[in-house]
Structure 1
Amino acid sequence: MISYLKSWLPSPLSWVFWVTDPVDCFLQGLIGACAVSVLCSLIRIHLFVLCSNNPDKEREKNQLRSQRQFLELFHFFLLSGIFAIVGARVASLVVLEFSLRAVSMLLSQNKGGAGVSTKLFLLCQYSLGCGMTTGLSYLYEGASHRTLCLVIGAGLAGLIMWYTLKLVHHILTMYELHSKQRYCGICIFLLTTWHSIPKLLCNMLKVTFGIADFAAIYLINKDFLSTSEAIRFWTPLTICYTLLVIYMQEEQQQSPTEQMVYQTVFVRMGGLLILTLTVGNWMDVFHIIVSLVGEGWCLFRTGTMLRICHGQPRRDEVSPSYPARGFPESHVDTSQ
C-alpha cells in the first residue's frame, strides 16, 4: 500500500513515505526513547541524592523535584517519532561521531585521574537512542519475525522504563524521610550505593555503543557497490570527525560553559550537514536537520541536570563528596 501511494507522488513529495516498514521503525523509535528515559531517570536519582547530601544544594534539589508529567509524556513521544524518522544511515553517523568524541573525552579525563563525568551521560542521550535503533536495525535485518521481536522488545523496554519512573518518583518524594528513619530498603540501599550509579551506566553504555558502532559501520558500508565508493565516503568523514573532536576539545577547555554544550551541537550537526551535502543525498540532509532538533530538545529538557553537573567537582562520581544523611559524618571521607 505504501509503495503504491509513493509511486503516485511527485519525487519531491515521496519522502512522506520514506520507510518501507513504518511499524518496525516506530517500534524501534519507542525502544530508543525508552532507553533515553531510563538513562535520564538514573542520572536524576544520582544527582538528587548528591544534592540531598549537600545542604548547599537545596535549590538544585527542588529543581530536580519539579517535573510535569505532561511534558515528560510529550518528550517521550516526540523522541519516539524522531528516532522513527531518522534513517539508519544518519543514525549511524551520529553514533560513530559520539563514540569518537566520548573516547577523546575519557582519555583527556583519565590523564587527570578523574572518573567518568556525569555530564557525558547527559550529552549521549540522543546518540543512545540512535545507537539503539542502529543496533536493532542490524540485529533484526532479514529476520522472519522482525515485527514480533520488536513488539516484545518494546514491551520489555516500556516495562523497565515504567519501573524506573516509579523509582524516581519514590526517591524524589520519600528518600529524605526514609534515609533518616531507615524505613525503606530501597532508600537505605541507595544511601550507601548511589555513587556507583555512574559506573553502572558506563558499563551499560559501553556494551550498547560497542554493538551500535559495529552495526553502524556495517549499515553504512552495505550501501556502497565498490571499495572506491567507500573510500570516497570514509575519507572526508574521518577528516570531518577528527576536526570536530579537536575543535570541541579546545573550546571546552577554554570555556566549559553550559552555552558551549548547545554550541557544539550546532557545530557537529553543521559538519555532518556539509558532509552529507557532498557525499550523501537529500534525504540524509533532512535527517540531519531532524537530528539537530532531537538532540537540541534532549539537552533542553535536561537543562537543570546539566547546570548541576557544571557545578560539581570532577571526582564526584568516584566517591561521595558530602556526608550522607542518616550516617555520622565520621564514617564518610570528606577530604576531597
Structure 2
Amino acid sequence: MFFPFSWIFEWFILDSNPVDCFFQGIVGACGIAVLCNLIRVYNFIQTCSDSGTETESKQSSSSSGTVLRGKWTTSLQFWSLTVLLSLVGSRVSSLIVLEFSLRAVSTWATARLDADGRGIDLLLIQSQFTLGCGLSCALGFLHQGAPHSSLSLFLAAALSWALASVSHSLWSHVARLYPLHSTEHHCGKCITLLASGHTILASLQRAVVLVFALAAVASTATVYDHFLSQKDALKFWTPLTLCYSILVVYIQEDQQRKPGAEALFHTVVLRLGALLVLMLTVGNWSDVLHVLITFLGEAVSLLPSQDLLKAVLQEEEYARLR
C-alpha cells in the first residue's frame, strides 16, 4: 500500500529529510528574490537618472502598476521556486553550480579582454536558479550531520525571508515614489539611493561571487563523494570534463553571436541538455528527474525576468550610441 509513497520519496529526496529540503528551498528562493529586486532597483535608478522628468513620471506610474498587478505572480513564482529547489538533489545541484562557475570564469575573462560589461550583466540574470541551487547545496553541505540541522535551517530561512521582504519593500517604494522623492529630497531611502544607488550592481556581483565560491567548495566535495570516489572514475570523467569545457566555449561564442532572449534561452537548453545526457551516462534515474526539474526551475526564473534582460540590452544600446 505504501510502496508508491516510498518510491516517490526515494526518487525526489535522497540525502535529507523533507523539512530540511523545504527550508533550503526557501533560502534559495529568497536569494533569487533579493537578487532580482535589487537589480530592478538599480535599473530603475539608472533609467531615471538618464531620463527627463516627464519620462520619469510615466515610468513611475507604469512601474507602480506593474508592482500591483504582479503581486500574485511574484508570490506564485517564489513558492514555485521553493518547491523546485527543494526537489532538486544535491548531486545535480552540485554539477549545476560547478558548470555555471566554469562558465562564469570564462565570461569574466572574456569581458575583461573586451572591456565590455554586458556579458557579466547577462550572466547575473542567468544565475538566478543556479544561485538558488548554490545556496541550498552549500547549506546542505554545512549542516550535514549536524544534530540540530532543522532548527539551524529554520533560522536561516527566517533571516532569508526577512532580507527578501526588505528588498521587495525597497523595490515597491522605489517603483512608486523614487522619481518624486529624489527631486524633493524628503525621503531618507531615496536620498541614499540617489547618492549611492550606482554601487548596487557592483555590490551584488561581489555577493554573488562569494556565494558561488562557497557553493563551489561544497559542490566539489559532493561531486567527489558521489561520482569520483569510485575506482577508475577519473578515467571516465576526464574526457567528459574536456567535452563539457568545449561546450562552454561554444556557448560563450554562440551567446555573443545571438543577441537578446534568444541567446539566453538557447544557452539554458544547451547547458541542461548536456547535463541531461551526462546524467543518462553516469547518473541514475533520480538524477535525470532532477535535471528535468531544473528545466522547470530555469523557466520559472527567467520568463518573469524579461524586464531585466530588456534593461541590460537597452543599457548596451545606450552605451554604444553614447
Q: Normalising by the residue count of structure 1, what TM-score does the alignment of the two structures yield?
A: 0.86
Which of residues 257, 261, 275 is equivalent to 1:272? Answer: 275
Shift of 1:162: 0.9
Supply the AA of the counterpart residue of 2:203: L
What secondary structure is seen at the aligned counterpart in 2 of 1:302?
A: helix
Residues 258 and 310 of structure 1 are in contact (CA less than 8 Å); yes or no, is this contact kept in structure 2?
no
> What is the 5 A alignment of 1:193-232?
193-224=196-227, 226=229, 228-232=231-235
Shift of 1:256: 2.2
Map Cα deviations across residues 264-288 of structure 1 (whole Å, 9 max, x no partner).
1111110000011111111110000
* 1:163 and 2:166 matched: yes
Q: Which is bigger in relative contact order (C-alpha 8 A, separation at least 6)? A: 2
Match of 2:156?
153
Going from structure 1 to structure 2, the CA distance change for 1:250 and 1:180 (only over 3 Å counts) comes to: same
Match of 1:249?
252
The structure richer in helix per residue is: 2
Shift of 1:227: 5.1
Q: What is the aligned-residue identity percentage?
A: 36
Match of 1:90?
92
Match of 1:43?
39
Which of residues 45, 52, 72 is equivalent to 2:48? Answer: 52
Residues 12 and 286 of structure 2 are in contact (CA less than 8 Å); yes or no, is this contact kept in structure 1?
no
Shift of 1:304: 1.3
Going from structure 1 to structure 2, the CA distance change for 1:25 and 1:240 (only over 3 Å counts) comes to: farther
What secondary structure is seen at the aligned counterpart in 1 of 2:315?
A: coil
* Number of residue pairs the alignment of both structures matches: 314
Map Cα deviations across residues 175-213 of structure 1 (whole Å, 9 max, x no partner).
011100111121111112222111101111111000100
Residues 137 and 218 of structure 2 are in contact (CA less than 8 Å); yes or no, is this contact kept in structure 1?
yes
Going from structure 1 to structure 2, the CA distance change for 1:308 and 1:60 (only over 3 Å counts) comes to: farther
Map Cα deviations across residues 233-284 of structure 1 (whole Å, 9 max, x no partner).
5324412421221111111222222211111111111000001111111111
> What is the 5 A alignment of 1:36-185?
36-55=32-51, 64-65=63-64, 66-67=66-67, 68-115=70-117, 117-185=120-188
Alpha-carbon distance in structure 2 between the residues aligned to 1:35 and 1:266: 23
Residues 63 and 304 of structure 1 are in contact (CA less than 8 Å); yes or no, is this contact kept in structure 2?
no
Match of 1:18?
13
| Runs (5+) with no aligned partner, structure 2 | none
| Runs (5+) with no aligned partner, structure 1 | 322-334
Which of residues 27, 30, 39 is equivalent to 1:31? Answer: 27
Going from structure 1 to structure 2, the CA distance change for 1:264 and 1:148 (only over 3 Å counts) comes to: same
Going from structure 1 to structure 2, the CA distance change for 1:106 and 1:238 (only over 3 Å counts) comes to: same
Alpha-carbon distance in structure 2 between the residues aligned to 1:11 and 1:165: 38
Going from structure 1 to structure 2, the CA distance change for 1:130 and 1:226 (only over 3 Å counts) comes to: closer
Alpha-carbon distance in structure 2 between the residues aligned to 1:31 and 1:185: 29
Q: Normalising by the residue count of structure 2, what TM-score does the alignment of the two structures yield?
A: 0.90
Alpha-carbon distance in structure 2 between the residues aligned to 1:108 and 1:258: 20
Residues 228 and 234 of structure 2 are in contact (CA less than 8 Å); yes or no, is this contact kept in structure 1?
no
